[in-house]
Amino acid sequence: MEQQRAVEPHDVVDLITAKRHGRPLDPDEISWLIDAFTRGAVAPEQMSALLMAIVIRGMDREEIRAMTAAMIASGERMDFTALGRPAIDKHSTGGVGDKITLPLVPLLASLGVAVPQLSGRGLGHTGGTLDKLESIPGWRASLTNDEMVAMLTDVGGVICAAGSGLAPADRKMYALRDVTGTVAAVPLIASSIMSKKIAEGANGLVLDVKFGSGAFLPEVADARELATTMVRLGADSGLRTVALLTDMDAPLGRAVGNANEVREAVEVLGGGGPADVVELTLALAREMLALAGMPHIDPAPALRDGRAMDAWRRLIAAQGGDPLAALPEAREREIVRAETDGTVQRVDARSVGVGAWRLGAGRARPGDPVDHAAGVEVLVRPGDRVRAGDVLFVAACDHEGRMSRGLEALRGAVELGAGAPEPRPLVAGRITADE
């Protein structure tokens, strides 16, 4: 005799219909929905329909809070109270040339703050921190919870992949969103990010929410809405959260790729590096120090006196990597030159990111391999004066046939004009729970 299924307290078709017509779902409905989808009682096609209804109709604050709580409840929660030092995390919404995590984590660790940095992989034109670090021979991204705690105790920081136990409902939902065109919705982005960050158990969180052509949400108004939503979710859950709105219209720094971004991060840790990378690293470090109760500490000297570099080497070695090993170098290089004289008005971050992606630095689908040696060196910034024949970009890759498509994207990435462009601040705003 066939075993009867348990009777569910809600009908998913009713919830899809309700959301399609704009009715807010109540916390009990949302809690059931996330749990039922996680255990397979709601089919992927049904959840896909509901996600699209959310994209179209949106969610109010109570709905987003309930969805976040339900995704947290689907897995484990970590606790770092035994460390004896504040644990402060940082999250970036992603961009082109965004290697800030690499110098930031050892910098904070060298100043006495524990940084449990759970990072991800790149997809499309935006890079992933784990892909960058895996260009270091021997370095491994997957750690157990005990290994994480040991590193936070001994080194003060860790950069690793999120374990399967943190918000598994989010992982299952994101796989659907990625293939159904339902990624770019503020309620879904906010609940996805914050469910993992709250479950992680840190004492504070600093968000780097980007806008501009290379960002996930190009419009500053949408980025502000996302930042405000996430800061409120943190406050509602007792996680002190601050967000900076930062410009991603141009790439960060000169290096875009994987191994080349690691090299640039090491330059910053050695007291050098591009001014914008240093500026954003220090801005985020100051916010994290303030949440840790250390607003009086200036992080800049630790980049100059070797403390941050020492912490970097310990962090990489503790995860099996050789911090002094040679990084991959591409066999093939091509130069993109200016065709006319002019002043650089814009370096389009998305075009540069797409160029690096086509060269092999990124992936089109989860699980695709990346070429750690592939990437782009950006040699001009907005406001630079160039002459015809000057070098704008150096493209690098190892795979025959990829170079031409990468160069195609890069050739349209620089806009030249007659006068100097209007300066754009790197940090355009700050969002707190009081706003």
pLDDT of residue 361 exceeding 80, the answer is yes
Q: Which tokens belong to 334?
A: 């091509």
Contact 185, 149 (CB under 8 A): no
Residues 33 and 141 in one domain: no
What is the extent of the structural domain holding 405? 332-417
Q: What is the mean pLDDT of residues 174-186?
A: 85
Query: Which pLDDT score is estimated for 7?
Result: 77
Cα dihedral 269→275→278→279 (10° resolution): 170
* CATH code assigned at 406: 3.90.1170.30
Q: What is the CATH number of the domain that holds 300?
A: 3.40.1030.10
The structural domain count of the chain equals 3
Sign of dihedral through CA atoms 267, 272, 275, 280? positive
For the chain, the average pLDDT equals 94
Q: What is the mean pLDDT of residues 51-63?
A: 95
On the question of pLDDT at 100 being above 90, the answer is yes
Q: Are residues 293 and 353 in the same domain?
A: no
d(CA 388, CA 409): 19
Q: Does 113 share its domain with 192?
A: yes
Q: How far apart are CA 263 and CA 312, in angstroms?
A: 12
Residues 108 and 201 in one domain: yes
pLDDT given at position 164 = 80
Least confident of 86-100, 247-261, 357-371, 416-430: 357-371
Among 307, 325, 343, give the residue marking a domain's end: 325
pLDDT for position 175: 83
Per-residue model confidence (pLDDT) at position 121:
81
Residues 298 and 381 in one domain: no
Residue 3: per-residue pLDDT: 54
Q: Which secondary structure element, helix H or strand E, spans residue 111, and what is its range?
A: none
Please check the confidence at residue 4 and state whether its pLDDT lies above 60.
no
> Residue 5 — very low, low, confident or very high, per pLDDT cuts 50/70/90?
low
Same domain, 153 and 237: yes
Contact 340, 388 (CB under 8 A): yes
User: In 3-state terms, what secondary structure has residue 256?
Assistant: strand
What pLDDT does 1 receive? 41
Q: In percent, how much of the chain has pLDDT > 70? A: 98
| CB-based contact 346:421 (threshold 8 Å) | yes
The set of catalytic residues is 91, 170, 177, 192, 196
Is the pTM higher than 0.85? The answer reads yes
Per-residue pLDDT, averaged over 383-390, amounts to: 97
* pLDDT tens, residue by residue, 193-228: 999 999 999 999 999 999 999 998 999 999 999 999
